[in-house]
């Protein structure tokens, strides 16, 4: 058996043709493709505003930054998540408070969240880890009681539902990733969603250097014949009222994203098909259990993860058979950068030592899944 990849983007002729059209227009930066992608995202997710950016990290950063929280305030984040979730807290001059996880699904523990909350906390950043939804109804109830902003980190899910409502639309902000390994891709890229019109305008400005005029509108006005002679009607004129960033998406990425969005249901259903095979096989495996209580109804799981008391031995065994694996993820407080933010996270420190991620992507072959499953059954402690 050849090497079996852990992740693989699903790209084809439709994406390539979409990019070619952008090439022919000779406008590859921020432009109409981005605006169309944002509009289609609004419709698909049932939100008022979507702002396309160059990464989910940028999305998380801006979603937090736009609230203008006082430096030194605290943000509640899960102990196990990708580093960007906590990094953006530091970018904003805020303090991450690491919340322990639920043993059964690795998501933020609401009980520990309530224990870690103090009057200095201003926001919660729940992460739908691996694509398994957080208890957003309970989180939002607590957040509303304490007047906390909720930023959903949807980097590892896209298109799934929780209790009949799309993941990413529960909080005040939803942030998505289009990095090349994720549910859908633009190579790199991200999206912020919000229903707050004032905030959306601010986010758009922050994503492009803090300009008060959309750069595409500025370009279009260059050909208009507005006779009013004031600054706002000068096509080239703009003002910078806030410190912004170069976080915008470009038309090349958006042209891929528009095709990928149309394929999103197919991409999610492909993963569901393989997850069913994995989960059925796990029932025949000794001492191997799924990391999440996988609920495949209207789901959007990014990864297939299992637990083993002999994780490193299992990883070595699968590696010998050319099966890619990984570990998602070390608790952030174990990293040197975050050690000073001490927090009691006993469940995270125990559970992460058992985690193994196995291949999951739409281009897996049935024979590859069968091979992996056979090796899982054969694995001896």
pLDDT of res. 226: 61
Residues 220 and 339 in one domain: no
pTM: 0.95
Same domain, 254 and 327: no
Q: Identify whether 28 is part of a domain.
A: yes
DSSP 304-346: EEEEETTHHHHHHHHHHTTB--B-----GGGSGGGTTS----H
Residue 48 lies in a domain: yes
- Return d(Cα 342, Cα 171) in angstroms, integer: 27
Q: Which residues pair with 306 in a beta bridge?
A: 290, 356
Q: Is residue 147 part of a domain?
A: yes
Contact 80, 303 (CB under 8 A): no
CA 372 to each of CA 189, 226, 240, 305: distance values in angstroms, whole numbers, following the listed order = 31, 66, 55, 13
Please report the pLDDT score of residue 191 as a whole number: 98
* Separation between Cα atoms, residue 362 and residue 300, nearest integer Å: 12
Same domain for 237 and 198? yes
Q: φ, ψ for residue 67 (rounded to 5)?
A: -85, -10
* pLDDT tens, position by position, 122-180: 999 999 999 999 999 999 999 999 999 999 999 999 999 999 999 999 999 999 999 99
Per-residue model confidence (pLDDT) at position 279: 98
Residues 42 and 98 in one domain: yes
Per-residue pLDDT tens over the stretch 13-41: 999 999 999 999 988 999 999 999 999 99
Are residues 241 and 278 both part of a single domain? no
Domain that holds residue 346: 264-378
Residue 8: inside a domain:
no
Are 294 and 208 contained in the same domain? no
Q: Give the end of a domain, one of 261, 283, 318.
A: 261
C-alpha 107/C-alpha 355 separation (Å) is 14
Give the domain-ending residue among 230, 261, 292.
261
129 & 256 share domain: yes
Cα of first residue to Cα of last residue in the chain, in angstroms, is: 23
Taking only the tens place, the pLDDT of each residue in 213-237 is: 887 766 666 666 665 655 556 778 8
Give the number of domains in the chain.
2
Write down which residue in 261, 276, 307 finishes a domain.
Answer: 261
State whether 239 and 102 are in the same domain: yes
Same domain for 137 and 107, yes or no, is yes
25 and 103 share a domain? yes
Considering the domain architecture, whether residues 244 and 295 belong to the same structural domain is answered as no
Angle CA(190)–CA(191)–CA(197) in degrees, nearest 5?
Answer: 155
Which residues of the chain have a pLDDT value below 50?
none
Q: How many helices (H) and strands (E) does the chain have?
A: 12, 12
> What distances in angstroms separate CA 94 from CA 54, 121, 122, one per listed residue?
23, 10, 10
For residues 72 and 150, state if they share a domain: yes
- So what's the pLDDT on residue 221? 65
**Total residue length of the chain:** 381
Which CATH number fits the domain that encloses residue 194? 3.40.640.10
CATH at residue 289: 3.90.1150.10
Contact 54, 189 (CB under 8 A): yes
């Amino acid at each position: 058996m050849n090497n079996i990849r852990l992740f693989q983007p699903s790209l084809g002729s439709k994406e390539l043709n979409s990019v070619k059209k952008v090439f022919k227009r000779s406008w590859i930066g921020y432009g109409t493709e981005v605006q169309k992608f944002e509009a289609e995202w609004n419709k698909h997710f049932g939100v008022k505003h979507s702002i396309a950016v160059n990464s989910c990290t940028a999305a998380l950063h801006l979603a937090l930054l736009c609230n203008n929280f006082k430096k030194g305030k605290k943000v509640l984040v899960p102990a196990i998540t990708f580093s960007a979730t906590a990094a953006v807290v530091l970018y904003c001059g805020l303090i991450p408070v690491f919340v322990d996880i639920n043993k059964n699904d690795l998501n933020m523990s609401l009980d520990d969240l309530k224990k870690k909350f103090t009057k200095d906390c201003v926001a919660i950043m729940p992460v739908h880890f691996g694509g398994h939804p957080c208890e957003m109804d309970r989180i939002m109830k607590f957040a509303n009681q304490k007047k906390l902003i909720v930023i959903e980190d949807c980097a590892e899910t896209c298109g799934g539902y929780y209790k009949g409502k799309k993941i990413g639309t529960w909080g005040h902000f939803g942030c998505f990733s289009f990095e090349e390994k994720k549910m859908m891709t633009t190579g790199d890229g991200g999206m912020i969603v919000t229903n707050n019109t004032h905030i959306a305008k601010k986010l758009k400005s922050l994503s492009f250097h803090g300009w008060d005029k959309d750069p595409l509108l500025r370009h279009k006005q260059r050909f208009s014949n507005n006779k009013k002679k004031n600054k706002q009607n000068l096509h080239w004129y703009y003002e910078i009222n806030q410190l912004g960033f170069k976080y915008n998406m470009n038309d090349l990425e958006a042209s891929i994203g528009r095709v990928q969005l149309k394929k999103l249901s197919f991409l999610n259903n492909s993963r569901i098909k393989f997850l069913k095979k994995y989960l059925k096989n796990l029932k025949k495996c000794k001492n191997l259990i799924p990391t999440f209580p996988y609920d495949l109804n209207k789901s959007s799981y990014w990864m297939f993860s299992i637990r083993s008391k002999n994780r490193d031995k299992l990883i070595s065994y699968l590696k010998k058979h050319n099966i890619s694996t990984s570990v998602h993820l070390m608790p952030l407080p174990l990293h040197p950068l975050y050690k000073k933010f001490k927090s009691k996270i006993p469940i995270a420190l125990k559970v992460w030592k058992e985690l193994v991620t196995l291949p999951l992507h739409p281009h897996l072959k049935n024979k590859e899944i069968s091979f992996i499953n056979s090796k899982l059954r054969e694995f001896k402690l």
